[in-house]
Amino acid sequence: MKNVVTRFAPSPTGYIHIGNVRSAIYPYLVARQNNGKMILRIEDTDRGRYVEGATELIEDTLKWLGLDWDEGPLVGGPNEPYFQSERREIYLEWAKKLMDAGRAYADPTPEEKIDEYRHECNEKKVPFLYRNFRPENPPKWEPGMPIRFKTIPKSYDWHDEVMGDMHTGPEVLDDIILIKKDGYPTYNFAHIVDDAEMGVTHVMRGVEYLSSTPNYLALYEALELSRPLLISLPHILAPTGNKKLGKRDGAKSVTEYRDDGVLPEAMLNYLACLGWNDGTEQEIYTKDELVEKFSIERIQNSGARYDETKLLWMNGQWIRRIFDEQGARALYDRTVNFWPEEAASYPEEYRVKVLSIIYDRLKTMSDLKTMTGYFFTEPEIDVTAIVENKFLKKMSEAEIESLLKTAIQKLSDVKEWTEDKLQVALNELLEETGKKPAELFSLIRIAVSFAPFSPALNLTLVVLGREVSLARLNAVARSI
Ligand code: GLU
């Protein structure tokens, strides 16, 4: 397809909720796949809901996810401005054209009157349609007067690329407001004008706009515009029940996940695959693979359930992938903000070593804070943690002490403090003491870390170093 133009058109009403990001990811993938253009447009006409700083948050979120845009805030473009609040004259011009053509009218009816009409309909138990009450002789438009569309009630058939063939009757068409009395356009009107002016070919947005689509189709017709492709994205559902994912369901903003140590690759991967698959078993996709494989036809038409456990699993997969493909250093560069405070006084190479033995246990990078403390701080000796350990509690304290001393003796004899030499010594210790790995290794592991788990014991000892490891073992032996 030629000249594909897609857009992400968020309203700056707060942080980007995880459920909304797909409306940015899919248009991005379609644009890149077709060598087309992706536009970022800020729909800030609802001044009551406007939140200061929300636009910057949107920009940061997109940048962090690696979703760049070809036109819009920060980058500019031929259709400037990209903030709807700055395009009011454009909408007014289009609305005036509709008024001149007899397809829109100025409406001075006060709110109270409209409420009466609504009330009347409720009493009669008939649907309230403003077109049944439209003023007979609308005045000439003046600033401060809303402008309404003069609809022609009829049936519509259209195709939604995800929802399939749609049909509605005339009862859903109404005289929708185009320009509000504050001079700002409604979403209903502004997006039609902008999509047309900006040459948008694919309108991808949440399914909540599906029910208003007949009114949009009526506007395309009245404005003699060809319809873009209409692509409704089903809701993302809360982890349980049948409702849309909301802030109350524990869904965080994208930036909160970033701050918790989720990688953008994982977030993009997870969200792209929430309600889309390429028909194979593949689960891990790079951005380039998504661009290559994404297809609108394979977007599911039912809601996709949000599952944070899956997101964190995927993040773990991505942490390993970056380590395996780009190396410890590259992964380290992504973790700098996530270490325990005390780590700052240790050389970078030491932190890279710690990361190299622990990365495959991380779900998020902030796990580093909780999982690596003993590499940077002397752990507090807690004898009960040893004597009550599930593998050690069968032994008496005297037995434990003697086992620990034997271990210290053996490890002190290891001259070359390497992974292999330590493994040999540990294996010999098992044979010589007749203990099970769970017993012997738990004892040494706890004595050097006092952490619930640690990486492979020989690796932990190598990274801690000979001196620290033996000093910690001796200190524990003295305390039992
Ligand atoms: N401003 C609308 C929203 O944030 C966008 C809908 C659309 O993409 O057209 O929901």
Confidence of residue 236 (pLDDT cuts 50, 70, 90): very high
Looking at the fold, whether 250 and 348 belong to one and the same domain comes out as no
Residue 33's closest CA among 253, 204, 163? 204
Closest ligand 1 atom to residue 208 Cα is: 10
Distance 272 CA to ligand 1 centre (A): 18
Computed from CA positions of residues 12, 18, 19, 22, in that sequence, does the dihedral angle turn out positive or negative?
Answer: positive
Cβ(6) to ligand 1 under 6 A? no
CATH code of residue 443: 1.10.10.350
Task: Confirm whether pTM is higher than 0.85.
Answer: yes
Q: pLDDT value at position 1?
A: 60
* Tens digit of each residue's pLDDT (9 = 90 or more) over 360-397: 999 999 999 999 999 999 999 999 999 999 999 999 99
Cβ(43) to ligand 1 under 6 A? yes
Is 317 inside any structural domain? no
> How many other C-beta atoms are found inside a 10 Å radius of the C-beta of residue 165?
8
Looking at the fold, whether 144 and 184 belong to one and the same domain comes out as yes
Ligand 1 atom 3 nearest Cα: 10
Looking at the fold, whether 165 and 273 belong to one and the same domain comes out as no
Is 319 inside any structural domain? no
Q: pLDDT value at position 453?
A: 85
Phi, psi of 276 (to 5 degrees): -145, 140
Confidence of residue 249 (pLDDT cuts 50, 70, 90): confident
Looking at the fold, whether 252 and 280 belong to one and the same domain comes out as yes
Q: pLDDT value at position 222?
A: 98
Q: pLDDT value at position 251?
A: 73
Whether the predicted pLDDT of 79 surpasses 70: yes
User: Of the residues 187, 192, 212, which should be mutated to test ligand 1's pocket, given the most ligand atoms within 8 Å of the CB?
Assistant: 187
User: Of the residues 41, 209, 212, 233, which should be mutated to test ligand 1's pocket, given the most ligand atoms within 8 Å of the CB?
Assistant: 209
Q: Which of 350, 375, 400 is the last residue of a domain?
A: 375
Q: pLDDT value at position 103?
A: 98
User: How large a percentage of the chain has pLDDT more than 70?
Assistant: 99
For residues 281-309, average pLDDT: 96
Looking at the fold, whether 98 and 228 belong to one and the same domain comes out as yes
User: Of the residues 191, 212, 213, which should be mutated to test ligand 1's pocket, given the most ligand atoms within 8 Å of the CB?
Assistant: 191
d(CA 222, CA 216): 10
| Residues designated as active site | 247
Is 311 inside any structural domain? no
* Tens digit of each residue's pLDDT (9 = 90 or more) over 64-75: 999 999 999 999
Looking at the fold, whether 66 and 174 belong to one and the same domain comes out as no
Looking at the fold, whether 100 and 177 belong to one and the same domain comes out as yes
Is 313 inside any structural domain? no
Distances (CA, A) of 194 to 27, 41, 249, 360: 16, 9, 34, 47
How many domains does the chain fold into?
A: 4
Q: State the Cα torsion 233-239-243-248 to the nearest 10°.
A: -110
Residues contacting 402, CB < 8 A, separation 6+: none
Closest ligand 1 atom to residue 195 Cα is: 9
Cβ(205) to ligand 1 under 6 A? yes
For residues 439-463, average pLDDT: 96
Looking at the fold, whether 254 and 225 belong to one and the same domain comes out as no
Confidence of residue 311 (pLDDT cuts 50, 70, 90): very high
Residue 99's closest CA among 181, 175, 195, 172? 175
User: How large a percentage of the chain has pLDDT more than 90?
Assistant: 93
CATH code of residue 100: 3.40.50.620
Looking at the fold, whether 227 and 93 belong to one and the same domain comes out as yes
Cβ(10) to ligand 1 under 6 A? yes
Whether the predicted pLDDT of 270 surpasses 90: yes
Q: pLDDT value at position 252?
A: 83
Residue 461's closest CA among 473, 477, 475? 473
Whether the predicted pLDDT of 437 surpasses 70: yes
User: Regarding predicted confidence, which is higher, 101 or 453?
Assistant: 101
Looking at the fold, whether 44 and 69 belong to one and the same domain comes out as yes
Cβ(9) to ligand 1 under 6 A? yes
Cβ(191) to ligand 1 under 6 A? yes
d(CA 431, CA 442): 16
* Tens digit of each residue's pLDDT (9 = 90 or more) over 143-183: 999 999 999 999 999 999 999 999 999 999 999 999 999 99
Distance of CA 22 to the CA centre of its chain: 8
Is 322 inside any structural domain? no
Q: Which domain holds residue 398?
A: 383-479
Q: pLDDT value at position 261?
A: 97
Ligand 1 atom 10 nearest Cα: 10
Is 312 inside any structural domain? no
Ligand 1 atom 2 nearest Cα: 10
Q: pLDDT value at position 452?
A: 86
